A and B are shown apart, each in its own frame.
Chain A
Amino acid sequence: MAFPDIGPVWLTLQLAAVTTVILIILATPVAWWLAFTRSRAKSAIEAITALPLVLPPTVLGFYLLIFLSPTSPLGGLWVEVTGTTLTFSFTGLVVASIIYSLPFAVQPLQVAFEGIGRQQMEAAATLRASPLDAFATVAVPLALRGYLTAGVLSFAHTIGEFGVVLMVGGNIPGETKVISVAIYEHVETINYRDAHILSAGLLIFSFLVLFFVYAVNRRFPLRVG
């Protein structure tokens, strides 16, 4: 019995890993700002970061396609600098995935930072820790569970995306053909056997990830305060 080709699985894992790493780095300042700002713009920024939760992936994919295309300022600049296009490429998929999974990184981090509160940061400042020092030595250790949740959810959510990927990336083997797209293709060509294998694999993987997140949350209640 032939195993369905491993290419999309490998590509999906790469995409999820790269997206998660970049997302954690980008989401940290955003979540920090949202947790501590008194600005009136807070609600607007919160709404924007939560948009990917409610928008149909096709809407997101449509706009991304327009913003990333070589005729747009950003897409055009990218072509000039790198010689490749953002649309229908792995890089384009990473950009799309970062936006698509943004709320899954920002929200757990924001909750974690809010849980730490200003008080601990003030205490660190009076112990002569600079803001960056206090962030690294107090905020991050206390927000570790938020980071774990953010990382796992971003990773899993990226693996599960379909609509955005299809619209921005298409279906190029080794470049943009991820598991969900591969499943779609198998179903279209009535190759149910391979569709079954990939679908069941994704189902089990997703369950294990969520199970892990909930189990960790239960076993290590946050120790703050």
Chain B
Amino acid sequence: MTTLSIDVKVSFGSFGLEVAHQLAAEGITVLFGPNGSGKSTLLRTIAGLERGARGRIHYGETVWQDDGDHLFVPAHKRGVGYVFQDARLFPHLTVAGNLAYAEKRSGGRPNGLELETVVKTLELQSLMARRVTGLSGGERQRVAIARTLMTRPRLLLMDEPLSALDVRRKAEILPYIEQLPGLFDVPIIYVTHALDEVARLADRMVVLSLGRKVAEGSVNDVLERIDLGPATGRFEAGVVLNVRVAGHDREYQLTRLDHHGQTITVPYADVPEGGMVRVRIRARDVALAIEKPEGLSIRNILKGTVSDIVEEPATAYAETLVDIGNARLRARITRKSAFDLGLSRGKPVFVLIKSVSFDRRMVG
């Protein structure tokens, strides 16, 4: 495993990015943050596309930039693959021509990245002879990913590759991306501001806000931090849980998930019993009660204790963190409710979950 170490500054007019970070290049790491947080600029700096960046970048033993030594390795010599938000396929070449362009310059270390395998993995067989101008947005991104893989990169950088696509196309491409690190042994740094992509793809995440790093760690740890409101967004905020499929109820079309003895029931999901899955629970879908409620349509009621409350000044809301044993859930409730219920750290509560979304089928 290689370590990417970055200590850089970039400034354009009033915007300034300043990040020092060590990153284990392994699996998928997400650079997360709202628009204007500097995440794309940081990715471009890693790739060598920002000549104005100052500082040092090392990838393992290789130095990519070191201003102290006046060293700047240009983008084409870093061996880094880059998937752009807008695909940037070459319009004068066919799909096959675009892939061949990359392969010709790859330096010829196959390491599993054979044209045939890549084309098959991204299901491009039927598109090979097409002109790129006639492709749909989703097809374009699949070709762009394949083209980048054909350069046989040491590190794959992806800059919001799905942000220009609608929900359905996005869902079509996500499975291709999530299997890349395993199939081709290439670490990925993935930039996005969409929490569903984070929950689905990321092993680890780094959160940027206004050009600074504000959090880093495993996805579960970072998402349960309630102090990151402005950076992670309030509406989509929530946590991910790894749960075991306990069983199915065929008659009512339900699936039971087990989390250390507590059960969560969700609409039927086609996952074998005993398999591990990752689910996402948004803070706004979680309500709290101090007595066990009766006569409710909500089926998922877990026991927990309040572990933290952060009131958001000048709003109606308080972000609450509840320990349910081996994991914590976030709940977005009103400050008034928190006061009326007398919520404070250590108080036992019942957690009502209105909805759960499936994010990833875990292997093993």
Q: Which of A115-123, A160-168, A187-195 lies on the face that meets chain B?
A: A115-123
**Which of A49-57, A60-68, A124-132 is found at the contact surface with chain B?**
A124-132
Q: Is B38 an interface residue (CB 8 A)?
A: no
What are 25 residue pairs bridging A and B, where the CB atoms are less than 8 Å apart in the complex?
A: A122-B84, A123-B89, A123-B90, A124-B76, A125-B74, A126-B76, A126-B80, A126-B81, A126-B82, A127-B76, A127-B101, A127-B102, A127-B147, A127-B151, A128-B76, A128-B77, A128-B105, A128-B107, A129-B76, A131-B74, A131-B76, A134-B76, A138-B92, A142-B91, A225-B91
* Beta-carbon contacts under 8 Å, A127-160 to B: 127-131, 133-134, 137-138, 141-142
Residue on B nearest A141 in the bound complex, by CB? B92
Q: How many A-B residue pairs have CB under 8 A?
A: 66
**Is A223 an interface residue, CB under 8 A from the partner?**
yes
**B86 contacts A119, CB within 8 Å?**
yes
Minimum CB distance partner of B84 in chain A: A123
Q: Of residues 76 to 99 in B, which have CB atoms within 8 Å of A's CB atoms?
A: 76-77, 79-82, 84, 86, 88-92
Does A224 contact B91, Cβ atoms closer than 8 Å? yes
0/1 interface trace, chain A 186-220, chain B, CB 8 Å (1 if under):
00000000000000000000000000000000000
- Known contacts A128-B79, A128-B151, A223-B133; is-contact A123 B105 (Cβ 8 Å): no
Of residues 33 through 92 on chain B, the ones whose CB sits less than 8 Å from some CB of chain A are 47-49, 74-77, 79-82, 84, 86, 88-92
Q: Is the CB of B148 within 8 A of A129?
A: no
| Consensus secondary structure, chain A interface | helix
Q: How far is the CA of A130 from the CA of B148 in the complex (A)?
A: 16
A123 to B144, CA, bound (A): 10
B355 within 8 A of A: no
Among A126, A133, A134, the one with the most B-chain Cβ atoms within 10 Å of its Cβ is A126
Bound form: Cα–Cα A137–B97 in Å: 12
Majority DSSP secondary structure for residues of B touching A: loop
Q: Bound state CA distance, A223 and B91, in angstroms?
A: 7
Known: A120-B88, A137-B101. 20 other contacts (CB 8 A): A119-B86, A122-B75, A122-B82, A122-B88, A123-B84, A123-B88, A124-B76, A125-B49, A125-B75, A126-B76, A127-B101, A127-B102, A127-B105, A128-B76, A128-B79, A128-B105, A129-B76, A131-B74, A134-B76, A138-B90
CB closest residue in chain A, given B44: A122
> In the bound complex, what is the Cα–Cα distance between A43 and B293 (angstroms)?
74
A127: nearest chain-B partner, CB-CB: B102
CB neighbours of B121 from chain A (8 A): none
Distance of A137 Cα from B74 Cα, bound (Å): 18
Set of chain B residues within 8 Å of A124, measured between Cβ atoms:
76, 90
**Most chain A CB neighbours (cut-off 10 Å) among B86, B102, B147:** B102
Most B CB within 10 A of own CB, among A122, A124, A128, A141 = A128
Inter-subunit contact B47/A126 (CB<8 Å)? yes
What residue of chain B has the Cβ atom nearest to residue A137's Cβ?
Answer: B101
The interface residues of chain B lying within 8 Å CB-to-CB of A122 are 49, 75, 82, 84, 88
- Least CB distance from B191 to A in Å reads 14
Question: Is B307 at the interface (CB under 8 A from chain A)?
Answer: no
